[in-house]
Amino acid sequence: MTDRETFVLTGQQPGMGRRRYRVADTAQQLVGGFLLAGPFVVTEEVWVLAENMSWYHAVLVVGIVFAIGYGALYKADADRDVDTEAEVAGIPVRFVSLMCVAFGSVAILAVAFTAPDTFLVNGGILLDPTPMAVTLTTLKAITVGAIFSVVGAATADSVF
């Protein structure tokens, strides 16, 4: 098989293996993810919205975050091919990292800023702030913030 045939059949240059994933890739994602997550963690409207969401709304939002992340990494960037990425359990490591950053950055900022206590408990929007209600509403708020965090993380990963 010629080099040209190899490229046409596999989409890879001859001798190309899986793309290595570096710690610097996650660092880039962290910068973008934290940058865009911050304003949404400290916005009361996000917490009110989260309190009014049902479980299926939260699942839908998680799906949106996954779709945005996948699209930004592998559909918007013509130079990146999902088939050439390093994988863990068949899922590209870059995508796993992106999802961890998208949701994790919002969760870390929520805890660091004491947002659940501020918006839900201490005279907040929950009428009965049981630990379970606070936890569930916080998880829903994290999904809302992750929509914006994933955009920042994927953009930073693609640009740098």
Q: pLDDT digit string (tens) for 11-53?
A: 444 445 556 677 788 888 999 999 999 999 999 999 999 999 9
Contact 110, 117 (CB under 8 A): no
pLDDT, residue 69, reads: 94
Q: Name the residue ranges covered by the structural domains of the chain.
A: 29-159
- Alpha-carbon distance of 118 to 99, in angstroms, equals 26
Interatomic CA distance for residues 127 and 48, integer angstroms? 12
Q: How far apart are CA 16 and CA 91, in angstroms?
A: 19
pLDDT for position 18: 52
- Alpha carbon 29 to chain centroid, angstroms: 9
pLDDT of residue 128: 83
Please return the burial class of 19, using the count of CB atoms within 10 Å of its CB with bins 0-12, 13-18 and 19+: middle
Judged on CB neighbours under 10 Å (0-12, 13-18, 19+), 126 is: middle
For the chain, residues with pLDDT lower than 50 are 3-15
Residue 75: predicted pLDDT: 80
Q: What is the pTM of this model?
A: 0.82
Closest listed residue to residue 49, CA positions, set 37, 63, 61? 61
Enumerate residues 6+ apart whose C-beta is below 8 A from 158.
Answer: 72, 73, 76, 77, 80
Task: Identify residue 98 by its one-letter amino acid code.
Answer: L
